[in-house]
A = this chain, B = another copy of it.
């Protein structure tokens, strides 16, 4: 905790805080005082401020002047808006992936899906997201889409926010088996380099994900 090498500190602190936030260890609305964190990480307030600003930049934290930062809390309306955004981006990702995919990329997807079917057989209703970066279907597609801007946005902003959204609203059961089937259909469209179909299927996939989330919330209360 105490052996940072200068600028690494803010990166480390940022990642640490992000981890705590998206894992639900810090609850939405919880205040993130600078002095607390500073003493906690054995560092001055400067790097803490930097890290908090970065977290605010990626939407994991809200911060107001003279008030400070707190873990962002998503309303259901914001959740809907978020999924609408995700629908647009991931649709474009699927379209671009279908456009760019050559033999190598198709095999990569194929291998990934073969791995996933194993996991699904063991945990049929896992949420099926908290995997390593390069083992996630959506992120692999984003890589194949070969658009660094969109890839960045998805990996560094939308995905962390999505995890926070889920951990905030106590999503218990995923829809692993169904999601996997949809992934397969999307993959088939990509194998055929069918941009429009890939885009459409991905959009529906995201919509279905939102429906599951939304229904889960309605049922809760």
Instruction: Tell me the A residues contacting B by CB distance below 8 Å.
Output: 6-7, 49-50, 53-54, 57, 65-66, 78, 81-82, 84-85, 87-89, 91-92, 96, 147-150, 153
Please tell me if the beta carbons of A92 and B81 are within 8 angstroms of each other in the complex.
Answer: no
Beyond contacts A54-B57, A88-B88: 15 other A-B pairs, Cβ-Cβ < 8 A, are: A7-B66, A53-B53, A53-B54, A57-B57, A81-B149, A81-B150, A82-B149, A84-B92, A84-B147, A85-B149, A85-B150, A85-B153, A87-B92, A88-B91, A89-B89
Count of chain copies: 2
- Cα distance A31–B66 in the bound complex, in angstroms: 30
Q: How far is the CB of A49 from chain B (nearest CB, A)?
A: 8
- Cα distance A88–B54 in the bound complex, in angstroms: 25
Q: How far is the CB of A17 from chain B (nearest CB, A)?
A: 16
23 A-B Cβ contacts within 8 A?
A6-B66, A7-B65, A7-B66, A49-B50, A53-B57, A54-B57, A57-B57, A78-B148, A81-B147, A81-B148, A82-B149, A84-B92, A84-B150, A85-B89, A85-B147, A85-B149, A85-B150, A87-B92, A88-B89, A88-B91, A88-B92, A88-B150, A89-B89
- Cα distance A130–B82 in the bound complex, in angstroms: 28
Residues of B within 8 A of A92 (CB): 84-85, 87-88
Residues of B within 8 A of A153 (CB): 85
Question: A53-B54, A57-B57 given as contacts; is B84 within 8 A of A96 (CB)?
Answer: yes
Q: Which residue of B lies closest to A59 (CB)?
A: B149
- Judged by DSSP, the binding face of A is helix
Q: How far is the CB of A124 from chain B (nearest CB, A)?
A: 32
Q: Which residue of B lies closest to A145 (CB)?
A: B84
Q: Which residue of B lies closest to A95 (CB)?
A: B88
Residues of B within 8 A of A66 (CB): 6-7
- Cα distance A150–B82 in the bound complex, in angstroms: 8
